[in-house]
Structure 1
Amino acid sequence: LVTNFIIICQCLEESGEPKPGDLIEIFRGGYQHWAIYVGDGNVIHLGTNTDAGACSVKSVLQDSAKVMKEKLQKVVGNDKFQIRNLLDDKCTPRPIEDILQDAESLVGKVLPYDVATHKCEHFITLLRYGMPRSQQVQLFAMTSHTELYSLVFGILAAASSEDENEEKK
């Protein structure tokens, strides 16, 4: 009961206790870590092969990650989290039994890790929906393109303005 109370207090929204198969979004400084709840206070997530930990910037530099089963409280630490089944409005979740069986079968395995294509969000969406997705990566790509276009248009506008000033002289 104490563990459940702590979990509820650290949850950002009053979404109740997680149920097996729920996706857990953990808010780290500057990014989110993801895990899948498997029951009895445990989650399965991608951790690092180093002592850096999943919440370390060093984890981004790794090319592999270990599938770990740990207590939600340990993975969350002092950070905040929420239950967020982020694609339920677009995709039908796989049967809970399949999600849990596949997640448990991967515990202890070392998998490729790449911040753009094989990160913790890809891992947990693959388990829940059968397809790897990352809204963080998609958002970054859209933001990067928008910033790139803004930069290009800014340079073109400045060049055009300089050309007009040259013609006036």
Structure 2
Amino acid sequence: MLLALLIAGKLLMGNGGDRPNREEKICGKQHFWRDKKEEMGYRLQYNLLDGHARILDKNNIRKATGTMSAMEEKFERLVSGNFLKPGDVIGVSRSFYDHYGIYIGDGKVIHYADKTKDFGRNVSIYETDLKDFTQGSKDYFVLHFPKTGGPPRKLRSSTNFNVNPREHMGIFDFLFKAKYKLFSPEETIERAKSRLGESAYNFTRNNCEHFALWCKTGISFSRQVDMVLSI
């Protein structure tokens, strides 16, 4: 029975990072949960059965759940009070796609887009305000790069969301299984700035996701294109 629970738990968690979460109060005895870290009213816990983690606030409200690697990073961001960090690969989910950029600090983002929208006749790499980048959306994400390697996963700024983070497993994941270079925040920002003014946008070969991942890892690739081409 215990083995079955372990297997079921691992299948449920998969290889994702920040899992969909509905904020709810955790009540009753939690026999299989243990605290790993506590700070600023937040508690990072892990499950004895499958090893996945969750974050609770001072009122015992579950704020996030997912892999330990992802929850450790989300915990630190929640505790700091600043979810975004300079050098982050930032993204926002539109109706049918994700738009990516590089957060450079002070509420500024460098991204590949038209001046008034993501797509248009004059797409280039330029600097804009976070508010313009998100287009008013309160929920955005940053890419989490696991310490053990492997493909990056999304960390949502929201602690209450239903977006399914399961991504298509294709060439993207294969590329990131190999060890790759992760540039420092300073290097990532410099790489983004080095391409300001570029206007060679191409949906399949040089889009906003290609640009953002190249700035952070040196790998120019797009999971979204991978998903479309594999259909």
Question: TM-score when scaled to structure 2?
Answer: 0.47
Quote the residue 2:184 is aligned against.
95
Match of 2:207 among 119, 133, 151: 119
Quote the residue 1:149 is aligned against.
none
TM-fit CA distance, 1:34: 0.4
> Which structure 1 residue ranges, 5 or more long, are not aligned?
1-12, 145-169
Quote the residue 2:96 is aligned against.
30
Quote the residue 1:81 is aligned against.
140
Quote the residue 1:158 is aligned against.
none
Contact 2:143/2:152 (CA < 8 Å) preserved in 1?
Answer: no
Identity of aligned residues (%): 24
> What one-letter code is carried by the residue in structure 2 that aligns with 1:25?
G
Measured in 2, the distance between the counterparts of 1:48 and 1:70 equals 11
Measured in 1, the distance between the counterparts of 2:108 and 2:135 equals 13
Question: Per-residue displacement from partner, 1:3-36 (whole Å, max 9, x unpaired)?
Answer: xxxxxxxxxx794311111111111111110011
Q: Does 1:43 align with 2:101?
A: no
What CA RMSD, in Å, does the superposition of the two structures yield over aligned residues? 2.5
Contact 2:91/2:99 (CA < 8 Å) preserved in 1?
Answer: yes
> Which structure 2 residue ranges, 5 or more long, are not aligned?
1-63, 65-70, 78-82, 146-150, 154-175
The alignment partner of 2:86 has SS state of coil
Q: Which moved more, 1:80-89 or 1:39-48?
A: 80-89
The alignment partner of 2:199 has SS state of strand
How many residue pairs match? The answer is: 123
Measured in 2, the distance between the counterparts of 1:48 and 1:77 equals 13
Instruction: Map 1:45-60; keep pairs closer than 5 Å.
Output: 45-48=111-114, 51=116, 53-54=117-118, 59=119
